Structure 1
């Protein structure tokens, strides 16, 4: 027995369309989402007061669902700052600099290191950790700054962030919107992330080598001077021995966390909490060791900087996540009102209705999820709209009867590759700034590899749904 569609369902569907339209126009979606939540509450309860309080309650609900992710990212950024300021990052990365002998080595080593570090630290902090150490080495062996920026960008903001296997911020958002466990999205995303990563990085590398041979991309003396000056200005309050100690200790502890996740089957919030707790203690230990009497105050200073970053990143995410939580269990929690008779959730009801109205096949579903992901990424956040991808994957899977995890992962991947920092120029600023290159030129270089990667990955997804 399926629930009949009511005005509640039609209003929800209308606002999904409006949100997509606003994203296409590259405008902020907060106003549309808030009005959508208000109207849903008003229709369901026929109470102006309940609808108004429901708007606020929906934001609380979204923050509650996302708080663990926001906090762990904030804490990780705090740790990355103190590692950079104390010089620990230089000691940690220096063994890899000896492996960089040619431009080819530089591109792939920088990229792979960026990917690994980004899994634990997220891409923007990872760029700060790696860039100041690896870029001068890369320039000296002949890799142009733009080439290094492409490698860091595609491997970090592309591969690592689209999978987000350690911190699990991205799969948390999409899985919640799709109404499935986080681990299902993670498992389904692995082959898609591999395909997308291989296609984009190899294509970008081929184009880069072509332009280096033509003399279009070169290393200038100005680039070398810029990064030498940066290195000379750096101060490290820790002794060489202590920097080495922490440089060895930090990766060991983080690897032990990953081992613990596997052994004790920790996923989602539990995995996030394990990483977060470990990093807090590392941060405190470094601060007390490096700053002595001022260490207590420095702990707070670094945490404040990290929280500012975390809430700045997730500020645009909270309203749109709140709206899409209303499509499932969040509606009852927020408004205290049951859905229409036989309803399985607003999104499920719409999916069931779609199954009876129009035939939907895997080709249509996968292509639509890629397009939706690309659209959600146009705001340059990468995260603010991926809840939409999860919600639409939920809708299509109700029609197909299968493939919800793969469709969700595909929408997540497309949204983050476009908006998370590989195509939208204003999202590329961290990589462009660290590498001292133009963000628009970096976006232009990434365009063809990313588009080609999305096409190939979508085709692969059609066989996996």
Structure 2
């Protein structure tokens, strides 16, 4: 039985459209998203009290979903502060400064390393590893912090996560829903990801380089501010020998993390937890070595500063994330009532409705899969929409008699590039937070390259079916 769209679906779709318009106009989304939560909750429950309570419960749901990311970013920030204060950071990055001498080298080196690490451990822990080491180097050679965030984001949450060739979580979900082997999806995704990745990253780099030439970035600002802080606090707490020892041991500890992730098959949240725990230990040992009797107080000070940074960065995103989680699997927990029978979530219902209204031809099938991937990616998960795109690809493939694997791979790629973390603002927060840039500005920077990449990839996919 086909589910009919209700006024609730159309209201949610209206606020999605308004959110996109606000992003284009560079306006804040907080009031808009809170209004959307209230109106949707009232329409679903008919209760003014429930709609007002829905604001708080939706915020709680969003914070719960984002808490692990907030915490690991806060810890990494605290660790980075003490490494900079003691001067250990200078010794850690010195070997890379001999290799990375231009903004272009910084962009591509950061991106490629991020992609490789993300294949094995997924992007969130990779962001923590890469940002702490490569951001200061990139700033020194003139690449803006926003450029570093773009490189980590597009290569990690874009190229690596959309293929997921090593862990194979994404292709497994897609293949199972489409009713085809995982190997077929992975094989079909390789040319699509090559096209998407090449077009998007090259476009992003040239647009960034053009704006740098026009003087739109003060690429030294963040680094100079950090240098001033270090100069004021002093670097003389540790001897040169101890600094060099820490500069060697810290990368070795993170390298051991990578080995443990691989040998123990730690992924996602488990891998992030390992990185976070290691960062806390580094903070403790560095504080003890540098501050000795005052280590207790200074450790607490750095942790507080890190947590303040984390919540300051994530604070504006929580209301927006709450609204878009409303369209995914959190509706019942956030509002306290169920969606109509047969519904799989507001966003998925919209995707299914779109697929059911489009005639089945090769070109229209590809365009529909791209549109469904974009819509389902708006919940910010990247993975929650894969069963839907896979099942629709299976239906289209059966109707056409071919192309199931290509359309499944295209739906997977589109959903993850949009929702996995290159356009939805709260999904790309890890890279933005590590680089201390505005996540909404990062989303706007990614918009044109990703749209161009998706357009070229969709056209290319039509020739593969």
TM bucket normalised to smaller: 0.5 to 0.7
Deviations 1:275-296 (A, max 9, x none): 1111111111111111212222
Preserved CA contact (<8 Å) 2:33 2:320: yes
Per-residue CA deviations over 1:394-442 (Å, capped at 9, x if unaligned) read 876665454543222222465279x979xxxx99x969xxxxxxx9xxx
2:137 to 130, 134, 152: 130
Contact 2:12 2:36 in 1 (8 A): yes
Aligned residues: 404
The alignment partner of 2:274 has SS state of helix
Q: Which moved more, 1:4-13 or 1:451-460?
A: 451-460
Q: Which residue of 2 aligns with 1:387?
A: 380
* Aligned partners of 2:93 and 2:134 also within 8 Å: no
Does residue 246 of structure 1 match 2:246?
Answer: yes
SS of the aligned residue for 1:387 comes to: coil
Structure 1 residues 189, 83: CA separation in 2 closer, same or farther (over 3 Å shift)?
farther
* Mapped pair 1:108 → 2:83: no
Check 1:244–1:364 CA distance in 2 against 1; reply closer, same or farther (3 A cut): same
Distance 1:304 1:455, change over 3 A: farther
What do residues 261-283 of structure 1 show as CA deviations (whole Å, max 9, x unaligned)? Answer: 33333222222212111111111
1:258 maps to what in 2?
A: 258
CA distance in 2, matches of 1:24, 1:394: 30
Partner of 2:155: 159
Cα separation, 2, equivalents of 1:191 and 1:73: 34
Q: Distance in 1 between matches of 2:206 and 2:21?
A: 36
Q: Which residue of 2 aligns with 1:341?
A: 341
Contact in 2 for aligned 1:157/1:420 (Cα 8 Å): yes
| Aligned CA distance change for structure 1 residues 98 and 362 (closer, same or farther; 3 Å) | same
**Residue 128 of structure 2 corresponds to which residue in structure 1?**
121
2:120 is aligned to none
> Contact 1:200–1:449 at 8 Å: present in 2 too?
yes
1:73 to partner: Cα distance: 1.0
User: What is the alpha-carbon distance in structure 1 between the residues aligned to residue 300 and residue 191 of structure 2?
Assistant: 41
RMSD: 5.1
Partner residue, 1:294 = 294
CA contact (8 A) 2:374 2:415 kept: no
Gaps of 5+ in 1: 136-144, 169-173, 211-215, 218-222, 377-384, 432-438
Distance 1:399 1:46, change over 3 A: same
Moved more, 452-461 or 285-294: 452-461
TM-score between the two structures when normalised by the length of structure 2: 0.68
2:44–2:337 contact (8 Å) kept in structure 1:
yes
* Contact in 2 for aligned 1:72/1:273 (Cα 8 Å): yes
Contact 1:37 1:55 in 2 (8 A): yes
Q: Give the Å deviation of 1:244.
A: 1.9
After TM superposition, the structure 1 stretch with the greater mean CA deviation from structure 2, 312-321 or 149-158, is: 149-158
Contact between 2:41 and 2:335, CA under 8 Å: does it hold in 1?
A: yes
**Counterpart secondary structure, 1:266:** coil
**C-alpha separation in 1, matches of 2:337 and 2:311:** 30
Deviation, structure 1 residue 30: 1.4
Aligned to 1:364: 367
Distance 1:190 1:281 in 2: 40
Report the TM-score, using the length of structure 1 for normalisation: 0.68
Q: Which residue of 2 aligns with 1:39?
A: 39
Question: Does structure 1 retain, via aligned residues, the 8 Å contact 2:369–2:393?
Answer: no
- 8 Å Cα contact 1:2-1:343 kept in structure 2: no
Aligned equivalents of 1:47 and 1:95: distance in 2? 62
| Equivalent in the alignment of 2:71 | 71
Q: Retained in 2: the 8 A contact 1:54–1:335? A: yes
The residue number in structure 1 matching 2:423 is: 415
CA contact (8 A) 2:370 2:414 kept: no
Matched residues in 1 for 2:366 and 2:207: separation? 30
**What corresponds to 1:94 in structure 2?**
94
CA–CA separation in structure 1 for the residues paired with 2:388 and 2:105: 39
